[in-house]
């Protein structure tokens, strides 16, 4: 029986790539972001902006005094979005859309 060959040195690990940035650079980093059912969102508290991308269409909302921390969908088609803020639930239709 032949002796085992010595182990070769391991290659250094490559860093895990970060997530894709899909929002404009001038907004900075979001405090929260997520996605579900062909929809993704990102909240930027310093700019009071909530971005929603749904089926490839990006829409910007003014969050006012709300500090968004999460999202829920009321039906499986994602037609009714609600967000969680320090004041409780916030419906998307209650936020003012911003024309960019």
Residue 83 belongs to a domain: yes
Residue 58 belongs to a domain: yes
Q: Specify the pLDDT at position 78.
A: 46
Q: Of all residues in the chain, what percent carry a pLDDT higher than 90?
A: 38
Does pTM top 0.85 for this prediction?
no
Pairing between β-strand 49-54 and β-strand 96-98 as defined by DSSP bridges: unpaired
Q: Which domain holds residue 37?
A: 30-98
Total structural domains in the chain? 1
Q: How confident is the model at residue 34 (pLDDT cuts 50, 70, 90)?
A: confident
Q: Nearest-5° angle of CA 46, CA 51, CA 52?
A: 160
Q: Does the structure show a pLDDT above 90 at 97?
A: yes
CA-based torsion, 76, 80, 83, 87: positive or negative = negative
pLDDT per residue as tens digits for the range 38-82 = 888 999 999 999 999 988 899 999 999 999 888 876 655 545 778
């Amino acid at each position: 029986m032949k002796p085992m060959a010595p182990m070769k040195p391991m290659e250094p690990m490559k860093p895990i790539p970060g997530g894709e940035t899909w929002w404009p650079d001038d907004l900075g980093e979001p405090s929260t972001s997520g996605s579900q059912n062909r929809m993704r969102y990102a909240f930027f508290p310093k700019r009071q902006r909530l971005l929603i991308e749904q089926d490839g269409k990006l829409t910007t909302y003014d969050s006012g005094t709300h500090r968004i921390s999460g999202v829920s969908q009321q039906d499986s088609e994602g037609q009714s979005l609600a967000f969680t803020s320090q004041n409780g639930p916030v419906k998307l239709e209650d936020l003012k859309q911003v024309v960019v």
